[in-house]
Chains A and B, each alone.
Chain A
Amino acid sequence: MSKILVIGQHADGKLNSGIAKVVNAAKAIGGDIHVAVFANDGSAVAAQAAALDGVAKVLVVDRAGNDDYVASAIAPQIVALTQSGGYSHVLAAGTTSGKDFLPRVAAKLGVQQVSDIMAVHSATSFDRPIYAGNAILTVEAPASPCIVATIRLASFQATGAAAAAAPIEKISVDAVIPSHTRFVKLEAQKSERPELQSANRVVSGGRALGSSENFNIIYSLADKLKAGVGASRAAVDSGYVPNDMQVGQTGKIIAPELYFAIGISGAIQHLAGIKDARTIVAINKDPEAPIFEVADYGLVGDLFALVPELEAKA
């Protein structure tokens, strides 16, 4: 029977919204699911993890500095816990943080990592995207010593609330933490809008917006629709919006119910980020733009006239 360790990533006292999806992926694998919270003081985050349906136990590893999630500090703790706990699977969310620390864990355990699981066929067989999601690879991972994998959040629903909270246990792990790497600062964009990674609706703008001031029409439409905001790589490269808004193969992979691609041509790399969006609406002045090949609804015209009109009538 599988014994699965889910890494309970968190920030600002909140469990990452993707963990509920990782737990769901763990349920598909089957077995005992434990969530490990590595924090300076993990009690608040642990309580949120304990409330997720499917979680059998939450382990809290408190250590000064854990909140910074420096990969070379977190990885040895995960390795120690995996080995002492005899876990068969170690799963992390496919966020920039999970991608940063988990490969270190895999290398130390001497196993190949499975990146971005999109479907679980069995405890050892998974689908993952390659070539920007233009091909799906089914892999069989050796069960022993253990399976290390990141979960593609856009491919899973979140697990629900548990009927009763899982037990929470404070533990210590025996790991050597190096001091060679130090967290300096995080410049985060604080926003009232729904978080791009988990928003049900997203409005994205491309390079056609032409300036950061012009992006205001995107923000305005998003606010009317209570949506998150995203952007193409070209818009980020041009400096119109910050990097955390980038949607695409090398940015965020999202799966909203409704996605508006405004002034976005639809390069392969951008489409990789939105393949799992339920409904895609494209507005572009170029009728030949590749985005219209994937859009459920396409509207050709000048976005500077159409977007304000859409906001007024939505």
Chain B
Amino acid sequence: MKALVSVKRVIDYNVRIQVKPDGSGVVVDGVKHSVNPFDEIAMEEAVRLKEKGKLTEIIAVTVGGAKCEETLRTALAFGADRAVHVKVDEEIQPLTAAQALAAVFKKEGAELFFLGKQAIDDDAAQTGQMVAALLDLPQATFASKVEIDGGKATVTREVDAGLETLEFDLPGIITTDLRLNEPRYLKLPDIMKAKKKPIEVIGLGDLGITAAAGLKSVKTANPPKRSKGVMVKTVDELVTALKAKGLI
């Protein structure tokens, strides 16, 4: 059974982002980038399934520009067998990414597709579900536990009310949540091995896709600033202040 894992190159989660003064976006040049943390969790889950003998091959995929090759090399170092780079230079939106990923999933004859529940830059949380809809396949989002057995996936999901368990017939799509696993530390031998694993580079045209017009970004702004607070020295001071405001 083959699994496809999608990884996205994003600004590192520790970086304090800066909004460009002209409102055209966020500063990305010279800023540290990494693999989207949720996609690392997706990669880790696929690798664990392969180690358990459930998967025969893991294919990593990314949709993005030239710099995304480093993202694929990280996925290969984790344990993907090979990678596909859908090279797109313009900024693409979730539906277009989903169309490309759905086409790759079909082309590769994969049975499982893992990706993070959201990318920490756009925070849209749509791509996995869109891939599932385009392929008319099942989905299990926000997965915190995955079991694959006898052609079925049993997935526990983190939802607002608590934990929900779904079962679906393979093939299908799973988006990963924080507590699904803890990704392994990459060791130097794996990083070196990754340099030799194959990456196939294709374009949207090779997949029969044209990037459709989507949402237009009008401007990017800083969020409203909270007014400065005060430090209090005692609980009495705090209670007095809150009562004065009618808050308690």
A88 partner residues in chain B, CB cutoff 8 A = none
Our count of residue pairs bridging A and B at CB distance below 8 angstroms stands at 243
Contacts of A11 in B (CB 8 A): 161
In whole Å, how far is A79's beta carbon from the nearest beta carbon of chain B? Answer: 9
Q: Is the CB of A183 within 8 A of B166?
A: yes
Q: In the complex, what residues of B have CB within 8 A of residue A113's CB? A: 94-95, 124, 126
**What's the nearest-Cβ distance from chain B to residue A249, in Å?**
7
| Chain A residue contacts of B140, Cβ below 8 A | 181
Interface residue tally on A, bucketed by range: 35 or more
**Chain B neighbourhood of A298, CB < 8 A:** 229-232
Complex contacts, A100 vs chain B, CB 8 Å? 129, 139, 141-142
> Do the beta carbons of B222 and A237 come within 8 Å of each other?
no
- Among A96-115, those with CB < 8 Å from B are 96-97, 99-108, 110-115
Tell me, rounded to whole Å, the shortest Cβ–Cβ distance linking B94 to chain A: 7
Which residues of A sit under 8 angstroms from B235, Cβ to Cβ? 299, 306, 309-310, 313
User: Which of A31-39, A127-135, A157-165 is the interface stretch?
Assistant: A127-135
Question: Among residues 234 to 273 in chain A, which have CB atoms less than 8 Å away from a CB atom of chain B?
Answer: 236-237, 242-244, 249-250, 252, 257-258, 268-269
Chain A neighbourhood of B11, CB < 8 A: 131
Digitize A53-82: 1 where CB-to-B-CB distance is under 8 Å, 0 elsewhere.
Answer: 000000000000000001110010000000
B150 within 8 A of A: no
- The answer to whether B210 has its CB under 8 Å from any CB of chain A is no
Partner of B142, one of A96, A108, A181, A233: A96
Binary CB contact string for chain B from 1 to 30 against chain A (1 if under 8 A, 0 otherwise): 000000000010100110100000010000
Binds A, one of B48-56, B107-115, B167-175, B194-202: B167-175
Measured between C-beta atoms, what is the minimum distance from B135 to chain A in Å? 10
Asked if A188 contacts B161 (CB within 8 A), the reply is yes
* A82-B163 Cα distance, complex, nearest whole Å: 30
At the interface, yes or no: B154 with Cβ under 8 Å from chain A? yes
Which secondary structure characterizes the binding site on chain B? mixed
Enumerate B229-245 residues with CB–CB distance to A below 8 Å: 229-236, 238-239, 241-242, 245
The answer to whether the Cβ of A140 comes within 8 Å of any Cβ in the partner chain is: yes
Which of B118, B154, B223 interacts with A134 by CB under 8 Å? B223
- Which residue of A is nearest B241, CB measured? A297
Instruction: Indicate whether B188 reaches chain A with its CB closer than 8 angstroms.
Output: no
| A136 near B222: Cβ-Cβ < 8 Å | yes
Given A100-B141, A107-B129, A180-B172, the answer on whether A134 and B17 have CB atoms closer than 8 Å is yes
By a CB distance below 8 angstroms, the chain B residues around A175 are none
Tell me whether B192 is interfacial, beta carbon within 8 Å: no
